[in-house]
A and B are shown apart, each in its own frame.
Chain A
Amino acid sequence: MTEPLLRVDGVSHAFGGVYAVREVDIDVAYGELRAVIGPNGAGKSTLFNLVGGQLAVRTGAIVLAGTRVDRLPAHRRARLGIGVVFQGARIFRGMTALENAMVGAHAVTGGGFAGAVFRLPVHRREEREIRQSAREALARVGLAGWADRPAESLPLGQQRALQVARALCGRPRLLLLDEPAAGLRAAERDALARLFEELKTSGLTMVVIEHDVAFVTRLADRVTVLDLGRVIAEGTPATVRADPAVVAAYLGTGVHA
């Protein structure tokens, strides 16, 4: 078996003695679109934050392409290729959509304060490249026409897409998304699904954490089901849907798949 792009190995995390994530193992292969589903309180967002670096990993290991990342702060993980799209709309207010996307390029650029102050040639070239790559990222998510708008003036669907553009600007090897379809209208949801298909075709590996089972099982290569912090099932969408443990976990919340 070849080395996976992402390996989550025996990761546990407790809040005040209550385990939100317990001994979770997940391997995600290169180019895969993995859905992580589960009912409310299953530990999905905790897992997202542990991989992204927003929560400290105390037990277990997280390995990206052979490199241990679980001790690294979030900005270092971004540099190693973990791009994240948060729940809701964590855009940078007071900046245009283009500037928001340009911030994402921090993960792949290095220009510091001195270069900026003295406007060194290397700085000017890097600025041009950042602007170019941000415009491409906006075009890729369908926001080319919104570049100069203040980010907070965009509708929710576009703000979500802007977060994706920002992450893409950091040229991630792994894109991690936390409930990207939540709160979106049907048309926005379809646009998002089309975007995921395009990104997948381009070879990007994605982990999509989702409450809405129908939305992701349509797109995913494999599905991991969490319940009460543990992995209770894993496999193709069809096998997972047929799994009695999954049906039991979702009983009461209702399976739409």
Chain B
Amino acid sequence: MARRAPAVAVGVGTLALPPLLSGSHLTVYILLGLAVMVTVGLSLLMGYAGQVSLGQASFYAIGGYTAGLLSVHSLPPVLGLLAAPLVSAAFAVVVGIPLLRLRGHHLAFATLAMQLILLSLVARADWAGGAIGLQGIPRLSVGGYEFADDISYAYLVWAAVVLTLLVARNIVASRPGRGLRALASGETAAAASGVPVGRYRLAVFALSAAFAGLAGGIYAFYLGYLAPGSFPVLLSIEYVVMAVVGGLGTLWGALVGATAIILLVQVLNTLGTQPGMPGYAPSVLSYAVYAVLLVLVVIFLPHGIVPAVRARLTRRASSGAV
């Protein structure tokens, strides 16, 4: 029962917040939910399957453009939203077959290169709006209901967060999840136990892409406008920082890490745009904060926030019992 308490508190808070938030805070809240979705997938990929992707924003972009392009060409927006995770996952499978032969740093750089290539291709693609961007994406509507105001998007996003967390949790606590954790710990021993290592790597890569794609699709309808500049490499790095800060291999870590980073970036952004600050202050501050935060976490909380808190609680519980 006590184990469920944090989940219940987070759930109630999530539902109660949107009407209480003002315009710009509500936007942050929505973007936070989207970031959590991407980070859950990345945490699964990094923490459970032992793979690093520095190109996760590409799948976010692909999901966004899929939803945007389909609905701009007057298909029902809900189809665009459903297609977003599928197209992202399909793309991950196609690039994953060659890329996943790589390991560790090589894979990280290859996914980074993938994103750079994708961004420059999109910037040249006139059918996708090119460098100027894709405009006039309609609002999402399902059946007769149109997601018109920000509050409706806030609820949509957080419903999607719950969906991704449920999917991820169900996988982690099952046969394929155990296979993934096993292969992250030792590929040879996992394969010898019957785990199809290559297929599992590809599946979790595709799944993480699907989560990012779904988030991207919602983003497209929420903003109504997409450009290559919306998906910089820094965004991919941000997701990695969120996953690491929160704690890899814990799904709550994705939520905590994304929240910590987004709030911090907001504070710094507010600080950087104070009157009297130079024009470059916001971007310098945000780069600096990732760097400093990542270094601090790696030094002081090498497993991330959530595992550190858990360990402390366990220690307190056991010392209290003695």
Contact = CB atoms under 8 A, between A and B. Distances in A.
Interface stretch (A36-44, A97-105, A219-227, A244-252): A97-105
A90 B188 contact: yes
A115 B167 CA distance: 11
Nearest to A104: B193
Interface string B250-293: 00000000000000000000000000000000000000000000
Nearest to B186: A90
B182 interface: yes
Interface stretch (A2-10, A106-114, A210-218, A229-237): A106-114
B191 interface: yes
Nearest to B183: A92
A116 B195 contact: no
Interface of B: 167, 170-171, 174-179, 181-182, 184-186, 188-197, 203, 207, 249
Interface string A50-75: 00111000000000000000000111
Contact of B188 (A54, A116, A123): A54
Interface residues of chain B: helix, strand, loop or mixed (majority):
helix
Given A111-B174, A123-B175, 17 more contacts: A53-B191, A74-B191, A78-B193, A79-B194, A90-B186, A91-B189, A92-B185, A95-B182, A102-B175, A102-B178, A105-B194, A106-B194, A107-B194, A111-B175, A116-B177, A118-B170, A126-B175
A106 B181 CA distance: 13
A108 B195 CA distance: 11
Contacts of B175: 102, 105-106, 109, 111-112, 116, 123, 126-127, 130
Nearest to B187: A74
A196 interface: no
A174 to B, nearest CB: 13
Contacts of B196: 75
B185 A93 contact: yes
Contacts of B194: 75, 78-79, 104-108, 170
A86 B207 CA distance: 32
Nearest to B168: A117
Question: Which one of A53, A79, A95, A116 has the highest number of Cβ atoms from chain B below 10 Å of its Cβ?
Answer: A116
Question: Which one of B171, B175, B178, B188 has the highest number of Cβ atoms from chain A below 10 Å of its Cβ?
Answer: B175
A14 B195 CA distance: 28
A166 interface: yes
A105 B194 CA distance: 8
Contact of A117 (B167, B184, B197, B249): B167
A103 B195 contact: yes
A72 to B, nearest CB: 11
5 contacts: A99-B178, A102-B178, A113-B207, A116-B174, A118-B170
